[in-house]
Structure 1
Amino acid sequence: MKNSWKLSTAILALLAMEAAGSPALAQQAAPPPAPTPAADNGIPEIIVTATRREESANRVPIAIQALSGDSLGKLNVTNFEKLVEYLPNVRTASRGPGISSIYIRGLATDTAGAQILGVAGVQPSVGLYLNDAPASTPGRNLDIHATDLNRIEVLAGPQGTLFGANAMGGVVRYITNKPDLADFHAGASGNAAATKGGAASFGAEGFINVPIVKDKLGVRLTFYSDHQGGYIDNVAGTYRMPWDPGGAGRLPTGNPLLVQQAIQSCVGVLNCVATATGTSGGFKVPLRRSISNNAFIEDNYNDANYNGGRGAITYKVNDDWSLEAMSMYQELKTNGVFDYAPGVGDLKVQQYGPNTLKDTISLSTLTLKGRLGILDMIYTSSYQDHHSVQQADYAKYANIGLFMPYYNCDRGVYYAGYANSASNGQTCYSPANSYKVNDRNRRWTQEFRVNTPADKRVRGTFGLFYDVNRIYDVTQWNYVLPDAGFVYNLAPNPAVNQEIKAGVLPGAGFVNTILRRDRQYAVYGEASFDIVPDKLIVTGGARYYNEKAGMYGGSSTSFVGGIRQNCSAVTTDPATGLTSCVYTPLATPPTVLGASSVLSSRLAGINPTTYTGVLLKANLTYKINPSSLVYATFSEGFRPGGFNRKGCNSASGSGGLTAAACSANRSYAPDHVKNYEIGVKLGLFDRRLQINLAAYVIDWRDIQIAAFDQNISNQTFVSNAANARIHGIEGDITARPISGLTIGSGFSYNDSKLTGCSSGAVAQTLCAQGVIAPVGTALALSPKFQGNIRVRYEWETGSGLKPFIAGGVHYVGSTITSDLVNANILYGCASPYTNCGVNSTINGVTVHPGDSITNLQNLFTQPSYTTFEASVGVSKDNWSLTVYGENLSDARPQLFTSANDGEKRVTTSRPRTIGLRVSYKM
């Protein structure tokens, strides 16, 4: 990687030296244009590069929303969660800062649990860019603090030809301010806020721009530090592995293995009834030890801290050529969790271990811009190092984990041949489990692009793109207990630890040491022809992509013999009569964990895999006048395919799948969208009114969905599971009816529906078992209607003061959280009891082999919600002061609901917050 970076730097230097002697045929390099003020109180234009050319956002035949840096400041947007409120067709699935996925136009189905995003998270459906550097990551998109930005561009709909993979829902681009080579600038702002029932928040940010050699060499430095106080309380509680006997007409509930053992104990027993201590058939409920969270009780414990900065330098070689370098670094640290448990209380949870995240981003770019003859050229190389270390409480996975009794309990509880055996122990010990994720995303991209003159009747943009993206995942689940005989500190199995060479923590029961590597190159272009000059334009585009995906390493596990000590004796609990093991050392202690999944053999013959294809685009635009146009577009997008760590529990078939289907489930293919769109952009009344509307139909095929179905595999897998279509309309309206008054609004309507299951055996099985939502179900996180209205009025007094008052309202319709209804645990035959494969009746309920005995809910309905905000302030000369209020009604919107750990948890907005911001610029 370092050699590649040096090579690209050398290429740039050679091109720059050659350019230094070329004639002056182009305008001098300059920072990206700021919003253009419109005469006579019109709406300012924002210059964007959505088509890889500089054009006004309102004159580009694309559904695009652009917020200038000035607008971001006025709206108090500092992170993506806040930005989404002003983007009516954008949603997120988030479990807190640094753990989110972005969706546009309803192209969403849900996201996997945070602990396996690096290896089992689907690729993003929305491309995220910092300037020209792609920065998308499965489930952990860069949570960049928005400061000193020129603008944010949000391109809706597939942008496959110009932006490639992962842009099938759209693209979000953060465009930073570049150095000004002419003048010195500096600025700073401070912020403090109070949240209802929560802790205080405060922060500061600033920049300095210095022209070192006037009109030749300049630098711009940016810094920020932002502390966001917590508002969720970790309250007192106790917890143990769950069990409830059910009752007349109801099955027992609790840990799935305990439930299954109870049901199997009733085979051949008349009037079998579950009780708090067992069943009349002989099943004994194990002694389940409790834990408390006294050491972790804390009010307002979900705080977040953003610290970072950015440096940029521009060297103008001559009038035609310039060299730009930019480097940013950000450290995000969080404590606690950012989703609360409604079953515990409003903004309350019960967590039994530490929850921390340290997320660091280092991203650098080197860009050469210039002109040769009539051609504008740009070459950009970027390198990204995104490192996330997350530790989280995992105690409540014992609610749903089919294999948790193996790790936490004596052999007499979990092992079929010894269930209820007093001599093998009948105790489940402390469920104080946790996991630690160590993900590192290293990405190197290069892009070379050429633009022909924009004023010609025939013009085009053509480019080459190369990308190497590596995700290193070391995730360990720490849930083996010394009390249960696990006392050996073991290394990962050498067979699965080749690429990363990772160590493990004491207590590790399952470990991923996996390298996920994607390499792609692409050739792309778009060309336009003026059928009628300045009136009727036709555009065609295509992108050829070659994507090579690979996965290496594997998983290590303690789920093998010879790792636990011997149960040499037992002690009896006098209250229950149940036994606990006394463990003694093995004669030959183990040194390594067992090999659960060795990808070199499991994926033999298919790893790596190359995907190739061509994405197309066609557009017809009619310019009504210089300020208005209508257009029609066809466009395509895709996401790359990939591999699963473990397609099935058994290679010979599991969960009703054949051996061939299990073999096919080792990998998944790309999914694709086709978009048919018409739009209109109207600049009216001397640009006092701007109306942008787009209507579209999207066909989404072979949707990649991450599923945790323990009947098929005890590891989350991705499958091309379903097809869907979306009918939608979106728009934004901005008006300046009188001097100083600006009214802005945006809305979207999406009628999204699953149209059926994909043709693969896994998809058909998931549908037959009711895991995939039925045909006609809406796509996840896709409200039928959402919109916002914001109003700002500002004026100037005779003394030169410029007061303002502003307000806004945001509405989001009801949604569902996932298109996986549930992941049921089915009644099987893994018991010491005879005839366990036949029907069993317990509490009067007859259970057949293959029936669902434990329902793991995935799909929740999230009600519609409305939030309000307001601000007042004043500015004079270089100073400004703003008082703002957010979520003024103190609403509890369900932004994202999940039950990944067997407990319903809800991500919500920060409660009512009142803040003060002071700024100075010179």
Structure 2
Amino acid sequence: MGRRADLLFVTAPAIAIVLATATPASGADRQDISIAPGRLGEAAIALGRQTGASIGMSDQSLAGIRTPPVQGRMSAEAALKQLLKGSGAKAQRIGGNGWRIVRARIAPARPAVAPAPIQIAPIAEQAPAEIIVTASKRDTPLPRYAGMVEALDAGLFTTAEASGGTATLLARVASLSSTHAGAGRNKLFIRAIADSGVAGPTQATTGQYLGDMRLNYAAPDPDLKLYDVGRVEVLEGPQGTLYGAGSLGGIIRVMPNAPNLAEYGGQMSAGLSATQHGDPGGDISATLNLPIVAEKLALRVVGYGVRDGGYIDDVNRGKDDVNRTGTYGGRAALRFAPDADWTIDLNGVYQHIDGDDAQYATRSVGRLERASAVAQPYYSDYMLANLRIEKQWDSLRFVSSTGYVRNILAESYDATQPDGPPALFRQRNKVTIFSTENRLVRDLDNGLGWILGASYLQSTSDLNRSLTSFGTAAMQPVIIPGVAMFGRGMAAPATGVRNMVKEATLFGEASFEPVKGLIATFGGRLTNSRLSGEALDPVAALSDSELARAEAQADRSETIFLPSASILTDAIPDVTLYARFQQGFRPGGLAVDDQRVRRFQNDRVSTVEIGARKGVPGRDVFAASANIAYTDWRNIQADVTDRIGLPTTANIGDGRIYTVEGRIVVRPTPAITLDGSVIYNDSRLTQPNDFVRALSYDGRSLTLPNVANLGGRLAFDYRTQIGGEMDLHLSGSARYVGKSRLGVGPILGQTQGDYVDTSLSASLTRGPVQYSLSLTNLMDSDGNRFSLGTPFDLRTDYYTPLRPRTVRFGIDFAF
């Protein structure tokens, strides 16, 4: 059997070769062919299936060329000619039943008698391709996916946005939010599934993936830069059936470009930025694709460095622009395709982030200013290795993904007490993840099919803490009870905690069509979690019996079944109606509360939603989607602060969330796209536990933390040609983030949000060179993104401002 290219031209346009074969047939045989308008990548796959031809590409950029519909009885060669007519590409025969698509050579133009005037004309309208939701793990066409999804193709990202990492996704997806504590230390939330703003040992509510490999577990967003990425998909949750624990809010799946097996090439970029009220910055990147054995083995390497200038002044220490951040890292991917049916990928990632200081300010001190006794640096060190193996049998494929992650986040907070010497609290969280998933998938073009899989995950989190005072031993105040202060810059250990989770899982999902136009999907996930925990460097005040009791509570096993079901109809032309039910959970563990090691239990969400979708964004003149969801959240895990002010984790009670969201995308002309989206959240902690009631007023219900009540985004995109030789691209957006609260109760009740973030960019491309100019925060807004400064002082009017108005000039060169 030949290999089906499983729609990777949609998910990763950089894949160089498509082998789309079915039953062997001669290229000259006339056959019934029906190919919808779309991109050349998908058209080649469809043609290969229908004719049995093997079709390859030598240039990754050809996959995105728009193609017309092809209908009728003809040979594969005739169909190829129709697809490639006017595209600037041609087909070369390879063997009796194979073709390679290459870029056609353009004959040199005759010298012009006189210079022609520059003409600006819109890019010719071409039929866009279908959007495939690959994060569904069954490659489901968007019209037949029951749920809200944002699919961001690489063509939407400028180099400036790639250097921004997760911040770029936040600017584009209205349902995505963040704590904004700093690059590499933020917690991400999708829809309104948010626990709190402080960082503790809880598992993330949003699952993040690089291809098929999980990026995080009990740690914040690693904030990998988006260089050389083919596509990003954001699926709203829960996504418990396919992704398991930690996908309560949804998942973010980043799909990097794969190695090109046929052609050497690459890209380089550089940019300089200037921030009003702050330091300059810059970024540089390079991508190299190197075929080692033609059509069999290739290597792709990406490297980058980013420097973000600071803009916060510390008036107490007399230092300006203290919050400078530097990031460097890269990726390497080795692809081996021994034959048409096998693909083996070996991937590696490394990234290091250094933050010179925290990025919060104090309104009572001044705009973009604060007064701290000590610097509060942090760093994030991230490493990933992954092996992915795929075997193809027509519409059946087997995928195995195994990998290892090591993520170290070291943070520091100003712990200085009134009239006391300078003091610094440090915590270092080292998370390791080993995971493997093996699944068998049957993909059908109409969105039907099934998936069966098994996975195993082991995650260990070591949270170490210490307290350092820079005064003399005789003048030490009590900052953390039980922690003996040494003074003179000597670190005193504070109680930390280790949590280990081992998860073994079986999962499956199937879609069928009982009547034409009605699709039913059922699935389930059975997970056994083995949990264990222990104290690290316990203070002397903790007795052996207390530690033994807490650790005994943590050492346990839990088995959870997560069902899912959806029903969808597309019987009305160009309209999709759906209803969905899904669940998600997070396992429990140990946390340090008032220097005591305590257990927190698992939590679970159940979501029911109904939605409608018309058209496909970017393909149709008018596309719209809307969704209403109700979420029941039981035994909510939240990272809170104990009575000392240190981050800890507790179950705060039960809650519910109502969510209404919608999006409209309009293309009044082929050159212009207008995009608008809005989301409204109504969240309540309906059954607070005793711990929360002690912090509340009269036991009234409380708003869940870090959930903006309202959010929205307006954007435009304009593309045109100048003189037939240059492409002009203009885009702009404005995003509103509504009000939210930092945490639960009056101590963490500070408000945040209620600001508008804006951006504008322009690029001019001629041949392999692109020049770009971008401007962010056009109004130089001072909006508050996050109200937490240091957890040792929760009453000061801290705020985290937007980065001030910033302009960047960049140049890209492809070869």
Change (3 A) 1:919 1:671: same
1:749 aligned partner: 680
Deviation at 1:913, TM superposition (A): 0.7
Deviations 1:776-821 (A, max 9, x none): 4332222222111111222112251222332221112222222232
Q: Which amino acid aligns with 1:183?
A: E
Q: 1:353 aligns with which of 371, 374, 384?
A: 374
Give the partner amino acid of 1:324. D
Change in 2 beyond 3 A, CA 1:56/1:482:
same
Q: For residues 456 and 814 of structure 1, do their structure 2 counterparts lie closer, same or farther at Cα, with a shift above 3 Å needed? A: closer
Q: Residue 554 of structure 1 contacts residue 645 of structure 1 at CA under 8 Å; is this kept in 2?
A: no
Quickly say closer, same or farther: Cα 1:49–1:505, change in 2 above 3 A: farther
Q: Which residue of 2 aligns with 1:918?
A: 811
Contact 1:191 1:916 in 2 (8 A): yes
| Residue 592 of structure 2 is aligned to residue 645 of structure 1 | yes
Provide the residue aligned with 1:515 in structure 2: 498
Report the alpha carbon displacement of residue 452 of structure 1 after superposing the two structures with TM: 2.1
Contact 1:201/1:227 (CA < 8 Å) preserved in 2? yes
1:795 alignment partner in structure 2: 720
Larger radius of gyration between Structure 1 and Structure 2: 1
Equivalent position of 1:526 in the other structure: 509
Distance in 1 between residues matched to 2:469 and 2:697, nearest whole Å: 31
1:891 is aligned, of 781, 784, 790, to 781
Please tell me whether residue 445 in structure 1 is matched to residue 435 in structure 2: yes
Moved more, 901-910 or 434-443: 901-910
Decide whether the 8 Å contact of 2:593 with 2:642 is kept in 1.
no
Work out which of the residue numbers 340, 346, 368 in structure 1 matches 2:361.
Answer: 340
Q: 1:373 to 1:359 in 2, by over 3 A?
A: same
Unpaired stretches in structure 2, ≥5 consecutive residues: 14-63, 70-125
Q: Identify the residue that residue 834 of structure 1 maps to in structure 2.
A: none
Q: Which residue number corresponds to residue 275 of structure 1?
A: none
Instruction: Write the letter of the residue equivalent to 2:729.
Output: F
Choose 308-317 or 775-784, whichever is displaced more.
775-784
The verdict on how the C-alpha distance between 1:130 and 1:457 changes in structure 2, with shifts beyond 3 A counting, is: closer
Aligned-partner Cα distance in 2 for 1:482–1:143: 39
Counterpart in the other structure of 2:229: 149
**Counterpart amino acid of residue 801 in structure 1:** M
Match of 2:558 among 600, 603, 611: 611
Matches of 1:707 and 1:24, distance apart in 2: 51
When residues 505 and 479 of structure 1 are mapped into structure 2, their CA distance, relative to the original with a 3 A threshold, is closer
- Over 3 Å counting, the alpha-carbon distance change for 1:911 and 1:45 in structure 2 is farther
Partner of 1:628: 575
Q: Which residue of 1 is the match for residue 708 of structure 2? A: 783
Structure with higher RCO (Cα < 8 A, 6+ apart) = 1
Aligned to 1:548: 530
- Kept in 2, the 8 Å contact 1:622–1:631? The answer is yes
> In the superposition, relative to structure 1, how do residues 485 and 750 fare at CA in structure 2: closer, same or farther (>3 Å)?
closer
2:801 matched to 1:908? Answer: yes
Which structure 2 residues correspond to residues 617-696 of structure 1 after superposition, within 5 A? 617-624=564-571, 627-646=574-593, 666-683=598-615, 687-696=620-629
Mapped contact 1:396–1:902 kept (Cα < 8 A):
no
Are the equivalent residues in 1 in contact too, given 2:497–2:590 (CA < 8 A)? no
1:228 matched residue in structure 2: 308
Compute the displacement of 1:610 (Å): 1.5
Q: Which amino acid is the alignment partner of residue 546 of structure 1?
A: N
Aligned mates of 1:479, 1:597 — CA distance in 2 = 28
Spell out, residue by residue over 1:715-768, the C-alpha distance to the aligned partner (whole angstroms, 9 max, x if none).
Answer: 6543222222111122222222112111122221112222222xxxxxx43344
Counterpart of 2:667? 736
Q: Which residue of 2 aligns with 1:385?
A: 406
Task: Give the drift of 1:228.
Answer: 0.4
Cα distance change of structure 1 residues 707 and 869 upon mapping to structure 2, 3 Å threshold: closer
Question: How far, CA to CA, are the matches of 2:739 and 2:273 in structure 1?
Answer: 30
Q: SS of the counterpart of 2:519?
A: strand
SS in 1 for 2:172: coil
| Residue identity (%) | 23
Is residue 469–residue 489 contact of structure 2 (8 Å, CA) maintained in 1? no
Residue type matched to 2:811 in 1?
V
**Match for 1:643: what amino acid?**
L
Contact 2:753 2:785 in 1 (8 A): no
Q: In the alignment, is the contact (CA less than 8 A) between 1:390 and 1:436 conserved in 2?
A: yes
Q: Do the aligned partners of residues 456 and 109 (structure 1) sit closer, same or farther apart at CA in structure 2, a change above 3 Å counting? A: closer
Give the C-alpha shift of residue 333 in structure 1. Answer: 0.8
| 2:654 maps to 1:707 | no
Higher strand share: 2
The one-letter amino acid paired with 2:805 is R
Residues 842-882 of structure 1, C-alpha deviations (whole Å, 9 max, x = no match) = xxxxxxxxxxxxxxxx1012252122221223111222111
Q: 1:675 to 1:504 in 2, by over 3 A?
A: farther
Q: Tell me which moved more, 128-137 or 378-387.
A: 128-137
2:735 to 810, 814, 830: 810
Q: CA deviation at 1:182?
A: 2.2
**Alpha-carbon distance change, 750 to 31 in structure 1, aligned in 2, over 3 angstroms:** closer
1:553–1:599: 8 Å Cα contact kept in structure 2?
no
Displacement after TM superposition at 1:369 (Å): 0.2
Is 1:316–2:209 an aligned residue pair? no
> How far apart, in 1, do the equivalents of 2:159 and 2:289 lie?
22
Q: Do the aligned residues in 2 keep the contact of 1:556 with 1:597 (CA within 8 Å)?
A: no
- Aligned partner of residue 258 in structure 2, secondary structure: coil
- The Cα shift of 1:917 comes to 1.6
Letter in 1 for 2:654: N
Aligned partners of 1:599 and 1:447: how far apart in 2? 38
Cα displacement (A) at 1:470: 0.9
TM score, norm. by length of structure 2? 0.80
Contact 1:28–1:319 (CA<8 Å) still a contact in 2?
no
Q: Contact 1:730–1:748 (CA<8 Å) still a contact in 2?
A: yes
Residue 891 of structure 1, CA deviation? 0.6
Matched, 1:169 2:258: no
Q: Which residue of 1 aligns with 2:80?
A: none
Q: 1:60 maps to which residue?
A: 145
Please list, as runs of the form range in 1=range in 2, the aligned pairs for 1:184-203 lying within 5 A after superposition: 184-203=264-283
What is the Cα deviation at residue 396 of structure 1?
A: 4.4
1:825: which partner in 2? none
Q: 1:132-173 deviations in whole A, cap 9, x for unaligned?
A: 111224452211111111111111120000000010111111
Deviation track 1:274-313 (CA, whole Å, cap 9, x = no partner) reads xxxxxxxxxxxxxxxxxxxxxx431111111110110001
Name the counterpart of 1:720: 651
Given the superposition, is the C-alpha separation of residues 549 and 902 from structure 1 closer, same or farther in structure 2, using an over 3 Å criterion? farther
Q: Distance in 2 between matches of 1:111 and 1:321?
A: 44
In 2: Cα distance, 1:462 partner to 1:751 partner: 36
The alpha-carbon distance between structure 1 residues 874 and 375, as it changes in their structure 2 partners (threshold 3 A), is: closer
CA distance in 2, matches of 1:103, 1:29: 28
Q: Equivalent residue of 1:898, what SS?
A: coil
In structure 2, how many angstroms separate the alpha carbons of the residues matched to 1:730 and 1:469? Answer: 34
1:195/1:596 Cα in 2 relative to 1: closer, same or farther (>3 Å)? farther
* Alignment: residue pair count: 698
Of stretches 665-674 and 768-777 in structure 1, the one that deviates more from structure 2 is 768-777
CA distance in 1, matches of 2:511, 2:563: 14
CA RMSD of aligned residues (A): 3.0
What is the aligned partner in structure 1 of residue 81 from structure 2? none
Distance 2:257 2:563 in 1: 32
Cα distance in structure 2, aligned partners of 1:536 and 1:59:
10
Match of 2:520 among 532, 538, 546: 538
Instruction: Select which of 255, 262, 274 maps to 1:182.
Output: 262
Question: Pairwise mapping of residues 72-83 of structure 1 onto structure 2 (< 5 A)?
Answer: 72-73=157-158, 76-77=161-162, 78-83=164-169
